[in-house]
Amino acid sequence: MFLGKIGDAPRRARGRAPAAAGAVLALVLLAGCETDGAGRSPDGTAASDGVDPDGSAGDGNDEGNGQEEPQGLVATLAVPGETLVVTGEASERSVDVAGALFASAPVVVLASPEEQLRAASAGAALGVPVLVDGVDTAAELERLGTEVVLALGEVADPGLDVVVPQDDAALARLLGTEPETVSAEEALDRLSEVSPGSPALLVPAPTDSTPDGDEDAATVAPPDDASSTSGTPGPTLLAADLDELPPTAAPEPLAGTVVLTAGDDEDLAALGSARAAGAMIVRAEGGDPRATGESVQALAGAAPQALIGLGEDFVDAETLAWRSRVAATGVELPGGGQLVLPDKTYVALYGTPGSGALGVLGEQPEEETVTRAEELAAAYAELTDEPVIPTLEIIATIASSEAGPDGNYSTERSVEELRPLIELAGEHGMYVVLDLQPGRTDFVTQARIYEDLLRLPHVGLALDPEWRLRDGEVHLVQIGQVEVAEVDEVVTYLADLTRENDLPQKVLVLHQFQIRMLPGVNDVDQSRSELAVLIHVDGQGAQPDKQATWRSLLNNAPEVEHWGWKNFYDEDIPGPLSPEETMSLVEPTPDFISYQ
């Protein structure tokens, strides 16, 4: 078996017959030692290239000279200096990731976009970067100092010596493994396991668009006499210059480097480079590492020092950095992950501890309140595929008929009064929302009173504009209202608090049963992904009237994604909807259902 010795030989323009490769690469016959394409002998030991470190031919035996036997060509890695988000097409992503993780690479896998999965697994198995052919490929090959290319599919002539496997069996032999067919759903998870120490050739399963018997078409080389005589540049199936890859050895894996993907097919080649460098691959649904328990725990275990996000879903480097920092805490919300919404349903008791006059939450002792909330949520469990989260919405500041010492017509319950129930709820895997009825003061002022409680991961906030008075107004004479500007002040305060303390996302509930209570609510700032903004429709009375209020408020705020519905035990006519009716008759299905 012949292997190319890569030294200081100049680059050449391809187009000569394959036999001319010997004029540039010193082809060395390894006496008595056959290797696989990754520089390993059949028994798993590393193979020498038969050349002493000083460049002279040797016998492969350096015993006694104090020098280690060469193990093969090794790429040089680079640690990303900053958090990166790379975007663009597959070629651009592959170049950017190779540029971030590799300082040099004498061997590179170069593939067409259609061959990304094979190429990614090949690069990961060999410990070399993977590039998708594109406008920046030539420049990246030059930067890496590449001498030999493993070409898969139709690619532009790189002007370097190429190895072109005839089929999957030939490619698998180069990698020292066997072909493994995987579905599109399996590909990412399986690629995440491939490494130089655990090689695999991943072959995409045929799809409805794959011609029968043509699964390997993109990897089959042209006949030996094929040459680029047409003078027309562009992707083509290249003729091989070399029969084999030079022996390669894997670089020492990077520690603490994580590459995140939202699962885009455009990411596969870049992920092959990531695995070749020893980086961990983490799938982040929707580009948010907080989204699932799997991504949260992966980052918590990785303790990442360097991060690369693939695709526009990751927004920008700053967003990726803080979201990953939150995920790395490993703290999860009830129902899993670190996002309160979407994909969860909250069922809440509403009221204040110790008083049944304001809602069912206070009708029983705290332990029984928790049990009642759990039983109520359980009634919804079989009605949705989403996790159902038992919840307490606690009135923290209570609208008052008297001005009180501070003159704001609101009675603020102390943090220490509320803490026992909130902590008990947390111990039971429940979520808690603190409800504010501020009277003549503003919502931000009252929210700050409960900052210690809002620092708890499982505690969110609710604003009740019905009880937000202007100067001269009193409760039950006027129905309160709040302007969007004041709500946005709460958004900024709560989002900043959440980010600065590396907390999971929080819900911000906006109670409403008349449009005038929160005019312009459609314009409330929803840009802060530290929060999920939800409008909670509080109408009571006859069910047709409640449905009309629901539709009116929905139409008034089409940009708001999350919605809540309230069932009143005593005020609804003929009574509150059953769990089955709530989930089937209220459209869209509410994310947050409370009982008062």
Q: Using pLDDT thresholds of 50, 70 and 90, give the confidence band for residue 210.
A: low
pTM of the model: 0.84
- In the predicted structure, residue 276 carries a pLDDT above the cut 60: yes
Kindly report, residue by residue over 156-202, the tens digit of the pLDDT. 999 999 999 999 999 999 999 999 999 999 999 999 999 999 999 99
Which one has a higher pLDDT value, 276 or 49?
Answer: 276
pLDDT at 401: 86
pLDDT at 192: 97
Mean pLDDT taken over the chain = 87
- Residue 369 tokens, joined: 């309140």
Rounded to an integer, what distance in angstroms lies between the CA atom of residue 433 and that of residue 429? 14
Kindly report, residue by residue over 443-489, the tens digit of the pLDDT. 999 999 999 999 999 999 999 999 998 887 777 777 889 999 999 99
pLDDT at 226: 41
Distances (CA, A) of 463 to 11, 189, 433, 439: 69, 43, 10, 11
Q: Using pLDDT thresholds of 50, 70 and 90, give the confidence band for residue 216.
A: very low
Q: How many CB atoms lie within 10 A of CB 592?
A: 30
pLDDT at 473: 76
pLDDT at 211: 52
Rounded to an integer, what distance in angstroms lies between the CA atom of residue 458 and that of residue 465? 23
Query: Vertex 516, ends 547 and 538: CA angle to 5°?
Result: 40
Torsion of CA 556, 562, 566, 567, to 10 degrees: 120
- Residue 264 tokens, joined: 């885009």
Kindly report, residue by residue over 349-362, the tens digit of the pLDDT. 999 999 999 999 99
What residue type is assigned to position 540 of the chain?
Answer: Q
Cα–Cα nearest to 522, from 513, 532, 535: 535
Kindly report, residue by residue over 304-348, the tens digit of the pLDDT. 999 999 999 999 999 999 999 999 999 999 999 999 999 999 999
DSSP secondary structure string for all residues of 513-536: SSGGGSTTGGGS----TTEEEEEE
pLDDT at 360: 97
- In the predicted structure, residue 66 carries a pLDDT above the cut 70: no
Q: Which domains does the chain have, with CATH numbers?
A: 352-595 (3.20.20)
Q: What is the mean pLDDT of residues 274-300?
A: 98
